[in-house]
Amino acid sequence: MDFRTEFKPLTVQPEQIEGRSFEMINEEIGEHPFTEEQYPIVQRIIHASADFELGQSVLFHPDAIQSGIRAIRSGKMVVADVQMIQSGANKARIQKFGGEIKVYISDPDVIQEAKRLNTTRAIISMRKAIKEADGGIFAIGNAPTALLELIRLIKEGEAKPGLVIGLPVGFVSAAESKEELAKLDIPFITNIGRKGGSTVTVAALNAISIMAERG
């Protein structure tokens, strides 16, 4: 059989595709422990990853969503650990309230300081970010070392984020960093295990910004 003759491209609008995707997620997820407030975030994480196991592993601090909404509506900064999050997030919704998304990992002073101290740029970028992003949202999807450093700074009272979206992916310290985040009494969204990544971090951030925009 010539499969090339079988393919018919979709002609529906992107909104229809997204809507149908969400319907399919609702049909397949079955019973879940998430509240009505939490579920839209989980839904978008599954939509971004096509991974129900990942979606169902998400953990929320009780104040996470409302604190994130307040941060956005107050024009607080969003700090991302990598450029991919900045590129994928809906910047217009953040900027609507006077905020911005910043990434420090490629700043010349961060690179220089990381070389001087023989450490990672991700660690130094967090040390720089906390000086400018008090009460803001930290969105970490790539670098477990960034999340571990942020946790250290929080424990030492140097960082006071409004929300930490900590969903780094990987084999070295990814699961462990999220376990440590879940122990903190600060607003967080994280998950259990190695899975995560920039795309699902963007999905969670975008879901929060949609809620902020809708009031």
Catalytic residues: 47
- How far does CA 176 lie from the centroid of its chain? 17
Residue in 198, 201, 124, 195 with CA at minimum distance from that of residue 165:
201
Structure tokens at 59: 């953990």
- Annotate 17-70 with DSSP letters as a single string: HHHHHHHHHHHHH-S----TTTHHHHHHHHHHH--HHHHHTEEE-TTHHHHHHH
Angle separating helix axes 121-129 and 108-117, nearest 10 degrees: 120
Q: Tell me how far apart the terminal alpha carbons of the chain are, to the nearest angstrom.
A: 54
C-alpha to C-alpha distance for 167 and 31, rounded to whole angstroms: 23
Structure tokens at 188: 């967080």
Residue 103, phi then psi, degrees to nearest 5: -130, 130
The number of beta carbons lying within 10 Å of the beta carbon of residue 134 is 12
